[in-house]
Amino acid sequence: VQLQASGGGLVQAGGSLRLSCAASGFTLRYYAICWFRQAPRKEREGVSCISSSGRSTYYADSVKGRFTISRDNAKNTVYLQMNSLKPEDTAVFYCAAPGERHWIPSVWADVDEYRYWGQGTLVTVSS
């Protein structure tokens, strides 16, 4: 089972990036997929989450209205569209999945509830 996050890079404040989370050895459509991020010297935090069906989405207050999570189950991929990026969004972004199908933890941003993790992709937003 492997999740692969990609799409990070260097962008100026106000710019946009789209992150992708692809899966191998893993049928992504059966699982909720969530994005987390970890900035230097900070704890990993939940950014956004989408249910296996795509009907339910969740966002951290800090990204509401700027980030959009979506999924294309036919392509076995989840996306995070990030607009109006700020320097404080600079972090390594990870995608993750819980160990159970069709399930989102009651506290979706609890890192301990996720079994599968991608390797991370670095997003750097310059001011």
Phi, psi dihedral angles at 28 (to 5 degrees): -60, -30
Does the pLDDT value for residue 82 go beyond 90?
yes
Residue 112 has pLDDT above 80, yes or no: yes
Whether the pLDDT of residue 1 is over 80: the answer is no
The values of phi and psi at residue 89, to 5°, are -80, -5
pLDDT 10s digits, 19-68: 999 998 888 899 999 999 999 999 999 999 999 999 999 999 999 999 99
C-alpha 103: how far from chain center:
16
- Asked if residue 85 has pLDDT above 90, the reply is yes
Above pLDDT 70, what percent of the chain?
A: 100
pLDDT of residue 42: 96
CA distances from 69 to 21, 74, 126 (A): 11, 16, 23
Rounded-to-integer distance, Cα 90 and Cα 124, Å: 5
Confidence of residue 119 (pLDDT cuts 50, 70, 90): very high
Residues 68, 39: Cα–Cα separation, whole Å = 20
Task: Considering only the C-alpha atoms of the chain, give the largest distance between any 2 of them, rounded to a whole number of Å.
Answer: 40
- Residue tagged 């700027």 (tokens): 66
Please say whether the beta carbons of 124 and 11 come within 8 A.
yes
